[in-house]
């Protein structure tokens, strides 16, 4: 839970009026008439004075809490937009004015009281102006200097016409779990669909459904879904086992690789057409493969490091076929350019570690529409890197298994006894740069 340190400061300012109660008490004290009435008058006066001051103090306490609540809300609103300081400032001011309207409370938050900086959780300190900012400090005020000090009702008799109040809060953002699975479709039901008796295991990262549908994330009966966090823009339908329970109403995420350039294959000329590996162990070299690549039953293909373009044809693996390769980038383009991994096939590929496509293994062209990628039977897919199918749909069926570092597709489905897990990479294959701009598990809280 967040720890909020409430900073309160009260200032009592003397008014110009001379207090009258002091003279009254002095005159009564000098009275030697012997009557008890003066003593009663003094006691009653002191009691009324104390009660009156208590009323003013109570009002100040309530108003202080109101200022603190407003500072807390404004700090959180600004922290959520900290990447854009102008947007963050506008958010803080908007929240403050909504909580404490200008016409009733005056200006409780000035632009200068929204400060950006760095929160050091170990030291418990906030440094204003750090370039590596991750926090916002907001200070709200009701003060004479701002023209909106809290007026006193009764304390004026003692020379305190107003009370100055101030509250401060610091909101901080720290990185949470990384994104590893993202279903991009903005509106379809079952965008991330986990069915059958299989297990979806994204331990250590976030699985995300960008769809606004009420059933955007669907974990069906007998299925098991595990992750450090599940998040759905729309809703989640959970009939099986889901740990933890999905968060819903999440913000829609941009495509982390939307700025990844489309590979430029100038004046595409086919190096190979309808290429097949029919038997044995064959080395395949980078180039343009029109009609795709097919590895027949029991055959093995080794992709040499480099870039491959498959045009109008699939990467097709027949029963018990094997394909391997390190520092490989495969670009799927055109009609029918898809993954087609059949029963018993094995795919073991790792991404380039340098260059514009570092960290990406398979890239389906954004110009495609509705391509169906399948991994079926007892096929095994081992991808050390990112599988990027932004307009395609991938289905794991039967007893197939998949280990992938990052998976982005329009829609993702597990069926039968299929299993999916995050690849526990111990290599130097990087995460594509675009993921660094995405915070699927933003952790924002009040730290002071």
Where does 91-149 show beta strands of DSSP type E? 114-120, 125-128, 135-142
Name residue, tokens 């963050």.
88
* Percent of residues, the chain, with pLDDT higher than 70: 83
The domain limits of the chain are: 11-174, 178-445
What is the rounded distance in angstroms from the CA atom of residue 346 to the CA atom of residue 336? 21
Residue 205 CB contacts under 8 Å (≥ 6 apart), including other chains: 177, 178, 179, 180, 181, 227, 228, 229, 422
Identify whether the C-beta of residue 301 lies closer than 8 Å to the C-beta of residue 273: no
What is the DSSP track for 322-361?
Answer: EEEESSEEEEEESTT--EEE-TT-EEEEE--SSSTTTTEE
Q: Tokens standing for 58? A: 């109570």
End-to-end CA distance of the chain: 12
Q: Please, is 88 exposed, middle or buried when counting C-beta atoms within 10 Å of its C-beta (0-12, 13-18, 19+)?
A: buried
Q: Tokens standing for 70? A: 């407003």
For 215-256, what is each residue's pLDDT tens digit?
999 999 999 999 988 999 999 999 999 999 999 998 888 898
> What does pLDDT average to over the chain?
85
| Residue 123: count of CB within 10 angstroms of its CB | 8
For 295-341, what is each residue's pLDDT tens digit?
999 999 999 999 999 999 999 999 999 999 999 999 999 999 999 99
Q: By mean pLDDT, which of 52-66, 257-271, 306-320, 417-431 is the weakest?
A: 417-431
Name the band, by pLDDT with cuts 50, 70 and 90, for residue 5. Answer: very low
At 8 the pLDDT is 35
Residue 350 reports pLDDT greater than 60: yes
- Considering the entire predicted model, what is its pTM? 0.67
| Residue 174: count of CB within 10 angstroms of its CB | 14
At 440 the pLDDT is 64
At 161 the pLDDT is 83
């Amino acid at each position: 839970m967040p720890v909020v340190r409430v900073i309160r400061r009260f200032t009592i300012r003397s008014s110009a009026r001379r207090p009258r109660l002091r003279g009254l008490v002095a005159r009564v004290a000098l009275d030697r008439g012997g009557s008890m009435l003066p003593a009663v008058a003094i006691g009653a006066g002191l009691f009324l004075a104390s009660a009156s001051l208590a009323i003013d103090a109570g009002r100040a306490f309530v108003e202080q809490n109101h200022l603190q609540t407003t500072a807390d809300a404004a700090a959180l609103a600004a922290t959520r937009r900290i990447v854009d300081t102008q947007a963050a400032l506008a958010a803080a001011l908007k929240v403050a004015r909504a909580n404490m309207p200008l016409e009733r409370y005056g200006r409780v938050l000035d632009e200068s009281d929204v400060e950006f900086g760095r929160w050091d959780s170990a030291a418990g300190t906030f440094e204003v102006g750090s370039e590596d900012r991750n926090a916002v400090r907001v200070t709200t005020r009701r003060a004479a200097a701002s023209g909106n000090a809290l007026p006193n009702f009764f304390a004026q008799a003692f020379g305190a016409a107003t009370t100055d109040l101030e509250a401060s809060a610091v909101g901080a953002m720290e990185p949470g779990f990384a994104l590893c699975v993202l279903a991009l479709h903005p509106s379809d039901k079952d965008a991330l669909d986990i069915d059958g008796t299989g297990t979806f295991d994204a331990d250590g990262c976030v699985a995300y459904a960008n769809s606004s549908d009420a059933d955007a994330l669907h974990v069906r009966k007998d299925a098991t879904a595990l992750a450090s966090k599940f998040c759905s823009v729309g809703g989640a339908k959970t009939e099986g086992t889901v740990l933890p329970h999905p968060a819903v109403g999440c913000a829609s995420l941009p495509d982390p690789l939307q700025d990844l350039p489309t590979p430029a294959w100038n004046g595409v000329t086919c190096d190979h057409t309808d290429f097949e590996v029919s038997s044995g162990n064959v080395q395949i070299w980078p180039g343009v493969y029109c009609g795709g690549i097919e590895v027949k039953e029991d055959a093995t293909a080794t992709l040499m490091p480099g870039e491959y373009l498959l045009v109008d044809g699939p990467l097709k693996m027949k029963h018990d076929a094997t394909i391997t390769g390190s520092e490989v980038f495969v670009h799927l383009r055109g009609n029918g350019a898809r993954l087609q991994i059949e029963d018993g096939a094995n795919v073991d590929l790792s991404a380039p570690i340098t260059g514009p496509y570092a960290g990406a293994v398979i890239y389906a062209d954004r110009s495609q529409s509705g391509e169906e990628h399948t991994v079926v039977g007892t096929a095994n897919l081992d991808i050390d890197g990112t599988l990027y199918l932004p307009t395609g749909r991938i289905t794991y069926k039967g007893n197939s298994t998949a280990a992938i570092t990052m998976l982005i597709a329009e829609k993702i489905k597990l069926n039968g006894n299929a299993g999916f897990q995050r690849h526990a990479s111990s290599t130097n294959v990087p995460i594509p740069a675009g993921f660094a701009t995405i915070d699927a598990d933003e952790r924002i809280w009040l730290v002071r």
